[in-house]
Amino acid sequence: MSYTSHLDIPYPGASSPRQALDLYLPTTSSAPSVNGDDGPPPPLLVFIHGGAWRSENKSDFRSDLVPLMLEHPQLPLAVIEYRLAPTDPHPAQITDVLSALNLLSDPNLLPCEEEANAPRWNRERLILLGHSAGAFMCLQILLDPPSHATSPRVPTPLRNKIEQVFLVDGIYDLPSLLDEYPSYLSFVSDAFGTSSASYEVESPARWSVPTSVLERRPRFHILHSKADDLLSLRQPDLLHERLSQAAFANAGPHSAGPPTVQVDYDTLQGAHYDVVHSKVDSLARYVARAVLPPNSSTTP
């Protein structure tokens, strides 16, 4: 798969080297079924890494996740970075993620596009892929926090650009997480402080689900490896139940279920970090099947 790499693109007003993203652009000839010579620009796949809000770096994914995500979905790919706790506690992480999304959806060309004098991806079409704490942040983007939360409310125009979201071995509800794994208080308190009340308020699985999300987009993919050594199925089960409850409330008691949610506990292989590193191939192929046209020659 042929692509160009554009590393460490800073966010507007960045004050930290972690407020930057890496951008990978397939050459047109490498992805004819996605972005043909005369076709419209494709959507952009955006990866948000995990690391319990206090570790990992976008550079950690350059040797495994990046090449496989480019080989299979063959979409332009952004790997975004954010500041880490405890030096920069919540909401610094989600604030930086939103800065990245605003930059990537800005209609002005980035320097890496100026030679072609044309956009390399459709600014109105974003696909989110979040792992662990990154999945938590994907959910923060799509759901509405209570008014007293410190999590920012995402403007509807930005939210409406998100077509699909892949939540991978994610954390969604902090009180439930700590009930199951009390020792995880160390990283939760680093990011969110010591108030148990704040854990409830800042957990996106407890937030309201906008009607527009239920009725139109994006399509949720809740993925979890049964071999995850750090998180059981309790977190994805809880999220699926709450999204289902919201869908039934919106559609009425005779609804067949939430049509915008797909749950898969079988595709991903390996432990918590394996799914985005040594065994990321399964994830890349799943994403490709979900985002590419059924008759695409690149569909695995």
Domain with residue 31: its CATH number is: 3.40.50.1820
How distant, in Å, are the alpha carbons of 45, 73, 76, 118, 126 from that of 113?
A: 17, 21, 12, 6, 17
Tens digits of residue pLDDT in 212-233: 787 766 799 999 999 999 999 9
Residues with Cβ within 8 Å of residue 197, at least 6 apart in sequence: none
In a domain, 279, yes or no: yes
Domain carrying residue 82: 3-291
Per 3-state DSSP, the chain is made up of helix, strand and coil in percentages (nearest 5) of 35, 15, 50
In a domain, 296, yes or no: no
In a domain, 109, yes or no: yes
In a domain, 268, yes or no: yes
Summarize the confidence of residues 198-207 as an average pLDDT: 98
In a domain, 299, yes or no: no
φ, ψ at 17 (rounded to 5°): -65, -20
In a domain, 85, yes or no: yes
How distant, in Å, are the alpha carbons of 54, 85, 185 from that of 189?
A: 11, 9, 6
In a domain, 298, yes or no: no
Tens digits of residue pLDDT in 237-277: 999 999 988 877 766 555 544 558 899 999 999 999 999 99
In a domain, 183, yes or no: yes
Would you place residue 181 in the very low, low, confident or very high pLDDT band (cuts 50, 70, 90)? very high
Helix (H/G/I), strand (E/B), else coil: 83: coil
Q: How far apart are CA 3 and CA 274, in angstroms?
A: 24
Would you place residue 38 in the very low, low, confident or very high pLDDT band (cuts 50, 70, 90)? low
Question: Considering its fold, how many domains does the chain have in total?
Answer: 1
pLDDT at 217: 61
The phi-psi region of residue 203 (left if phi > 0; otherwise alpha if psi is between -120 and 50; otherwise beta) is beta
